[in-house]
Amino acid sequence: MGGREAIRGFAVQTLICLLDSISTAHSWVGVTLEPDSANDKVDILWELADGTTCGQQVKSSKNQISKADVVIWCKDLKESGRASRYQLILAGPIAAAVLANSPFDDVDVPTPTSMDVLALIDQAITKVDRYLTAKSIDPLPLSLRELLIHELVARMTKAAISGRRMSREEFDGWLLSTITASYPQAVNERLTDNCSVLWSALELAAPMEAAVEAFELVLPLTVVNGGAFIAIVEMFLVRIWSDTWEMRYRPECVVPSGPSEKHLTRRELGQPFGDFAISPRSSVQQSVLFVPVQRVGYDSGKWPLGDYQIELFIKYASQAMLRSVKRTSITIRMDEYSVFTSGGIRYISISNLDQCLRLL
């Protein structure tokens, strides 16, 4: 085999390994390209999630591959004794009898693949989108997918030179580090898409500052992180408006959860609001006290009676902009004004229960 053919053969082998690596149907925990072997038959050694191993040998040729050749290769591969099961991966034209009569010596012979390196790269560029979608990462631009594949081929080639094992965690880390460096919005969107904010009640209380007439608000919030990365919440913001009136509310402190006879007591026990983190697949509960933003253009006086729209926003450290969490409507009646004399709290439910019941 000439030098050019040898290089092409190794490139095909590497790309086939890459295609299997990003296959969503392939459950693996580790892979070694060109593992150390006395008889040098196994080109790719897969460690699978069920504890078994799969040894693959890659054979490529621009000439037709005969059944006789395949029988010999399968026998030698099986006798190498390196894995629980084996596959002979063929690239190029093959005799019809190969697929008709396989497996040979219990060695599986899948449908042959192309030996065109550019075609294999195109396959990988297409397939990587499915792999990333399965990990909740938004589709990437074509230019970035091309960069990603070339980067992975280079890294896998480097690992193959030393026969070094690559873990699934390491492989995923390569992907994510490259995406983060080149297109951080993809990972940021993935992060926030995996986070949900649960909010079902609004607590109204009298203001503590004499110069302020507007209600103070307490929102019992639960932030759930269903992703695989830590999420950092920097702030919340509440927007409240009617046809003729609008306010903004910002977080002031985190107060103890649960009912209290006096709002002042709860407020005095509160801690200043600040950034907080939610670990992967966990949640954080906070009762956040909000006070009016006193700025030109926004009201900070007593709420008029009537109907209002209320919207909650969240700001993650990974995103530059606030993100809307929930929007609902509330009604302020005379009963809500009682907090100004009682010092207590009025509760308004903003759950979707009534709306769901109307659909029954």
Q: Name the CA radius of gyration of the chain, rounded.
A: 31
305, 332 in Cβ contact below 8 A?
yes
pLDDT of residue 7: 65
The class that CATH gives domain 194-358 is: mainly beta
Give the tens place of pLDDT for each residue, 203-227: 999 988 777 889 999 999 999 988 7
pLDDT of residue 349: 87
- What pTM was estimated for this model as a whole? 0.50
- Give me 319's structure tokens: 């995103």
CB proximity list for 360: less than 8 A, separation 6 or greater: none
Give the tens place of pLDDT for each residue, 257-310: 866 668 888 888 899 999 999 988 899 999 999 999 887 666 778 899 999 999
Lowest mean pLDDT among 20-29, 96-105, 144-153: 20-29
pLDDT score of 332 more than 90:
yes
pLDDT of residue 26: 67
Is the domain covering 3-191 a CATH 1.10.3470 domain? no
Position with higher pLDDT, 217 vs 188: 217
> Using 50, 70 and 90 to split pLDDT, how confident is the model at 155?
confident
pLDDT of residue 221: 94
| Mean pLDDT, the chain, whole residue set | 81
Give the torsion through C-alpha atoms of 252, 253, 256, 257, to 10 deg.
60
> Using 50, 70 and 90 to split pLDDT, how confident is the model at 185?
low
- Give me 358's structure tokens: 């109307």
**In residues, how long is the chain?**
360
Domain spans of the chain?
3-191, 194-358
Q: Are strands 85-91 and 53-60 parallel, antiparallel or unpaired?
A: parallel
216, 206 in Cβ contact below 8 A?
yes
pLDDT score of 327 more than 80:
yes
Closest by CA position to 193, among listed 185, 183, 202: 185
103 cis-preceded (ω within 30 degrees of 0): yes
230, 277 in Cβ contact below 8 A?
yes
CB atoms under 10 Å from CB of 278, counted, come to 21
CA 303 to chain CA mean position, Å: 41
- In order of 10, 73, 85, 242, the CA distances from 101 in angstroms are 27, 14, 18, 76
The maximal CA–CA distance of the chain, rounded, in angstroms, is: 95
- Give me 74's structure tokens: 């399968």
- Give me 126's structure tokens: 């297409």
- Give me 238's structure tokens: 């509440």
**Backbone conformation region of residue 288, classed left if phi is above 0, alpha if psi is from -120 to 50, else beta:** beta
Alpha helix (H) residue ranges in the chain: 3-21, 67-79, 96-101, 117-134, 142-162, 168-182, 184-193, 263-268, 339-342, 353-358
**Could you give phi then psi for residue 230, rounded to 5 degrees?**
-70, 135
Query: How far is 288 from 269, CA to CA, in rounded Å?
Result: 12
